[in-house]
Amino acid sequence: MEGHWDPGDPLRDLSPGRWIEERLWAWGDGSGRDGVPIGCLLPEGFEAYARLLHPARRQRGRDLEPVRWSQMASRTGRTAHPLMQFPRIANLPLNEFPDWDMPPSEGEIPAAEAERLVANLRPFTSTPDRCYLALWEGFGVPELRAFDAFPRLRVPHRAYFVFLGPIDAVATLTLGDFHQRPNLWWPEDRAWCVATDIDLFETDIAGTDACIQRLLADPDLEIYRVAVDARIDIDGDVINA
């Protein structure tokens, strides 16, 4: 997926995203839910949910080699499991230099993982050429500030500009000099939904059971099936606490 895709102006009619606003759980709403469960980032009501973990990177010559969280946990003596959190499995003693050179991408799915995700999700939608791609409003770049007069899709603690485009635009979305893969995206038929929150080292996916099973079978992705109420904040990793 090479090149750049310019989406033009964001949508003024945000009715295609209302179902997400209505089906997301509120953060700290007094419901008794602790932390940040998947349901705060992805709409409830799907058959299955999963966490796709962004790899760390290690310099090998002129290339950056991906380091999976499970590999790191093995080196640090921590436990790899579906709700593990990067800071806890990295487990670095004071002043010790890690054997990885770059932490996982925070708030943006890496290019390789984006391409694999698009390839796997494409067969599970009847509308691959009509997808909604949402960018967080707060990146602070001129390209987004130019859209200040446009409406945002507003969910708990986040607001997004929404663009319409093909599924391939996920990896190539570009506004002027600003290249950023979307933080929230879904097809027009609502067959699945993907979220990469700005504060997390992961991308979360909701879909049918068959869709999630296909993702789990992809050897190029480090991905775990989780429940909609699974905590994905750092304190959700009680095993490596």
- Sheet harboring 153-155: ordered strands across? 153-155, 158-165, 131-136, 184-187, 193-195, 202-207, 48-53, 223-226
Distances (CA, A) of 40 to 44, 139, 212, 230: 9, 21, 19, 10
Distance CA(137)–CA(112), nearest Å, equals 24
Distance CA(67)–CA(84), nearest Å, equals: 15
What backbone torsions phi and psi does residue 229 show, to the nearest 5 degrees?
-95, 10
- Asked whether residue 32 carries a pLDDT value surpassing 60, the answer given is no
Task: Note whether 223 and 68 are within 8 A (CB).
Answer: no
Global confidence as pTM: 0.94
Q: Tell me the average pLDDT of the chain.
A: 93
**Which tens digits make up the pLDDT trace of 149-203?**
999 999 988 999 999 999 999 999 999 999 999 999 999 999 999 999 999 999 9
pLDDT at 23: 96
| pLDDT band per the 50, 70, 90 thresholds, residue 218 | very high
Assign 1 a pLDDT band (cuts: 50, 70, 90).
very low
Residue 51 in contact with residue 226, Cβ under 8 Å? Answer: yes
Q: Which residue has the higher pLDDT, 94 or 50?
A: 50
> Contact 8/133 with Cβ under 8 angstroms?
no
* Cβ atoms < 10 Å from Cβ of 28: 12
- Domain chopping of the chain, boundaries: 15-56+104-236
Percent above pLDDT 90 for the chain: 85
